[in-house]
Amino acid sequence: MVRVSAPLLGLLLLCCFGFLAPPAAAEYVKYRDPLQRLEVRIRDLMNRMTLAEKIGQMVQLDRAVVTPEILRDYSIGSVLSGGGSVPLPKATPEDWINMVNGFQNGSLSSRLGIPMIYGIDAVHGHNNVYKATIFPHNIGLGATRDPDLVKRIGAATALEVRATGINYVFAPCIAVCRDPRWGRCYESFSEDPGIVQQMTDIILGLQGEIPENSRKGVPFVGGQDKVAACAKHFVGDGGTTRGINENNTVTDWHGLMSIHMPGYYQSIIKGVSTIMASYSSWNGEKMHANRDLITNFLKNTLKFRGFVISDWQGIDKITDPPHSNYTYSVLAGVQAGIDMVMVPFNHTEFIDTLTGLVNGEFIPMSRIDDAVRRILRVKFTMGLFENPLSDQSFLDQLGSQAHRDLGREAVRKSLVLLKNGENADGPVLPLSKKAPKILVAGTHANNLGYQCGGWTITWQGLSGNNNTTGTTILSAIATAVDPSTEIVYRENPDSNFMTSNNNFSYAVVVVGELPYAETAGDSRDLLIAEPGYNVISTVCGRVKCVVIVVSGRPVVIAPYLDQMGALVAAWLPGSEGNGVADVLFGDYGFTGKLPRTWFKTVDQLPMNVGDANYDPLFAFGFGLTTEPVQAN
């Protein structure tokens, strides 16, 4: 047998037949060509897809149940980490990258090689990940009134997310919380829709500055150092009756448009890639099944061209009890306009149900094609087809000093000074760094978990200092004061202790709420955690004191206000407690303003600026200011 090499065979064919044999490389396909226009690539790919592959793109599964084989065989469109769903406890960025790339290789091995998108709740920094910078929750950022600051936080968060190989975040929450009894109120920038609109600049940090010639509503992600963002939860989630999570928002069209919708106008203008539907209802109709708002208004009127994603098992919750009529739920949700469904565990049930509905002509192919077109538009815009796999380019960004410095800046700008009493030496604040002996007291002074709140490492948050890295308020105070100052720390000093220790120059009392997230955080009484009030009364009755409240919302404080020398709302400041000390000791002045009304009693709720009979303890926008001091 005569063996002929491939190059020689090609030359012989050219001589004999006038053409060169094609190389062994894959055939040219338009959807893989980045020089082709976006819509051409989308159309070419969709023309090649089967119904099964299209429906697979509409599925998002949690990492706990997904495998590379599932991604390959079902052409699954997305994977997510739910709150606390991590590859390993205290996983390193390399652990995350290896996991994400393992999943991505599964997607790339499918027939058409459509890359998956990986989503995570990065709602105040990359908050699921060990050693990430934890920024203040949105309520604190709303107190800063600083859109440029949140844009820089968005850019830092994008870098830290990319450090772990992830490219999609379920943020920002642009809810307008109208009742602090809601357990997600700290995820809202403000009760004022105008402030929420301003703070949508965080999208420009997460995704990049949208080009001037960009079409309205078209998603935009500006490079490998950026991530796709998600405005949530559409729409009215912050206006539910009595602040009950997933409840009913009762308001007319004008109220919905003027209070709850403006943030979405701005998010779409700024190129947000995705929008998440709300669990809540509007005037009794579940948002996950509201075609008028999702398809007719959001997609057709506002011209949003990214994709709409469900919340966690949001399709199931269309019925009561959840999942009681799954076929109806899938029909209602997909027909309403939801494009990607956060299943998140049972993909075969959803795929089989939706396939049956399409084959039975209950859902038209045009609806499936609309969903897939939107999903692919985001993926192409992100550059996923050109760069599907993550590398270690951004490893040094996770918890970097620059980001921690930014977090510290955000903390000091978010603090709101509510009271600054006078004594013989003048105002209580700023405190002296050279006091001989000081007391630091309270449950929240030395607890990083309490300081960060919910959506930190786990869904509902944690207690303690070993779950991630950062600086507690106690540690920050110790660093700030003169080395000669004696610091005494007691979590819960009793009256006997205070009587026998009567030589403190002043006390800093740090109390507040325990960590919580949605539903579990819904509260009827809005009290700080025990023994907080006892600590205030015991300490502030005997020594000049500053009370720092660490909370996700206004809490009951009026009965104790007279006992305090000064009162500071610190919200949920995150990992950089040094920002608190910066302002306490006068290195920087207080500048924060209340992003929401502080009530006198819970019986007044709901109460928002502009309401009739508005009678708050501290009005929306209130905040005392101080000047920085050179030395103290």
Q: Which residues are catalytic?
A: 311, 518
Residue 95 and residue 86: Cα distance in Å, rounded? Answer: 9
Say if residues 363 and 332 touch (Cβ distance below 8 Å). no
Assigned token pair, 216: 């309205």
Question: Nearest to residue 184, comparing CAs of 575, 513, 552?
Answer: 552
Say if residues 449 and 572 touch (Cβ distance below 8 Å). no
Say if residues 304 and 218 touch (Cβ distance below 8 Å). no
Residue 571 and residue 20: Cα distance in Å, rounded? Answer: 71
Say if residues 308 and 340 touch (Cβ distance below 8 Å). yes
Which residues make Cβ contacts (< 8 Å) with residue 355, sequence separation at least 6? 51, 52, 55
C-alpha distances out from residue 235 to 65, 231, 507, Å: 30, 10, 44
Q: How many CA atoms lie within 13 A of 466 on its CB side?
A: 1
Kind of pairing between the strands at 486-490 and 437-441: parallel
Specify the DSSP element, H or E, that contains 391. none
Local structure of residue 296 (DSSP, 8 states): I
Assigned token pair, 126: 């990359």
Residue 508 and residue 446: Cα distance in Å, rounded? Answer: 12
C-alpha distances out from residue 105 to 99, 114, 115, 135, 351, Å: 10, 10, 8, 32, 22
